């Protein structure tokens, strides 16, 4: 296992679809991210093929393998267990519920099975909740995460959802919507400091330029909202990330 306790100081991007980029782009992105002050990132998967590509990454990044709820039909449990045992994998994800995915029962079965892998292998869970009725579906299945380390990815929920996550000890990761959504900014101000994380959710898409280097904007705004120095917030978030992904060895 890599020694993540000596990660480069700075901001940590907890959600990047890194395997979707070509090798030259990945090298450039890492160089630019480090120059901007981003010291580490988590490469997150969405399908079985995506998970295989993530495991095969040679860059020294954190890794998550799993099947996105919109792809729940494609879950291969034996293969995912094998991938989840690979070096560098610290989480199962992204998994959860999506209003635009297949039926709730299909998503629920995939969620239950992947949560079981996380429990068996002592891995964290990167949680996706988005779209109509997704939160309601999650509430009915949330007990499957009891006792697991959970990171709610790209949080855009309301104060009640934040309170639910806080009560269950779930980490809450804010992305670039924080830059433009005043309601979300007020919610972020109230999030427990020990459960905060930030991300970019970077992936290649025509017309979308977001990359890990842009994480700094999110972190600096979060620092202003909470009335702390950016360096102090970066250190806090780094500690949170180490705990969220059990990076103690």
- Whether 118 is in a domain gets the answer yes
Cα-Cα-Cα-Cα torsion 178, 133, 241, 60, nearest 10 degrees, comes to -100
pLDDT in tens, 21-69: 999 999 999 999 999 999 999 999 999 999 999 999 999 999 999 999 9
- Whether 1 is in a domain gets the answer no
CATH, residue 132: 3.20.20.140
In 98-152, which residue ranges form alpha helices assigned H by DSSP?
104-121, 134-141
Phi, psi values for residue 228, rounded to 5° = -130, 165
pLDDT above 90: percentage of residues in the chain: 94
pLDDT in tens, 103-121: 989 999 999 999 999 999 9
Q: How many domains does the chain have?
A: 1
Query: What is the C-alpha separation between 79 and 59, in angstroms, rounded?
Result: 22
- Whether 3 is in a domain gets the answer no
Task: At 8, list the tokens.
Answer: 């480069």
Query: What is the C-alpha separation between 195 and 198, in angstroms, rounded?
Result: 10
Q: Please give the C-alpha separations between residue 222 and each of 16, 149, 177, in angstroms, as whole numbers.
A: 19, 23, 12
SS3 of residue 234 by DSSP: helix
Of the candidates 173, 146, 167, 186, the residue with the CA atom closest to the CA atom of residue 244: 173
Q: Is 156 left (phi over 0), alpha (psi -120 to 50) or beta?
A: alpha
- Whether 249 is in a domain gets the answer no
Q: Has residue 7 got a pLDDT over 80?
A: no
Place of tokens 């998994």: 95
Q: What's the N-to-C CA distance of the chain in angstroms?
A: 8
**Residue 71 sits in which domain range?**
9-244
Q: What is the pLDDT of residue 9?
A: 61
Query: What is the C-alpha separation between 105 and 101, in angstroms, rounded?
Result: 11
- Whether 138 is in a domain gets the answer yes
């Amino acid at each position: 296992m890599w020694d993540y306790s000596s990660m480069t100081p700075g901001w940590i991007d907890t959600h990047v679809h890194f395997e979707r980029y070509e090798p030259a782009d990945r090298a450039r992105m890492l160089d630019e991210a480090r120059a901007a002050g981003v010291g580490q990132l988590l490469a997150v998967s969405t399908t079985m093929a995506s998970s295989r590509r993530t495991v095969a990454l040679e860059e020294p990044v954190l890794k998550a393998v799993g099947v996105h709820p919109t792809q729940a039909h494609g879950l291969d449990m034996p293969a995912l267990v094998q991938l989840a045992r690979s070096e560098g994998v610290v989480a199962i994800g992204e998994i959860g519920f999506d209003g635009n995915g297949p039926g709730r029962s299909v998503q629920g079965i995939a969620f239950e099975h992947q949560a079981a892998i996380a429990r068996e292998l002592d891995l964290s869970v990167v949680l996706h909740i988005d779209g109509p009725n997704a939160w309601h579906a999650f509430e009915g299945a949330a007990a499957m995460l009891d006792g697991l380390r959970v990171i709610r990815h790209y949080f855009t929920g309301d104060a009640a959802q934040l309170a639910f996550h806080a009560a269950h000890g779930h980490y809450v990761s804010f992305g670039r919507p924080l830059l433009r959504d005043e309601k979300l900014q007020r919610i972020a101000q109230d999030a427990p400091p020990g459960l905060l994380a930030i991300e970019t959710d970077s992936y290649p898409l025509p017309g979308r330029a977001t990359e890990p280097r842009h994480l700094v904007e999110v972190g600096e705004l979060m620092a202003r909202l909470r009335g702390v120095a950016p360096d102090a917030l970066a250190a806090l978030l780094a500690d949170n990330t180490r705990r969220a992904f059990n990076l103690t060895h």
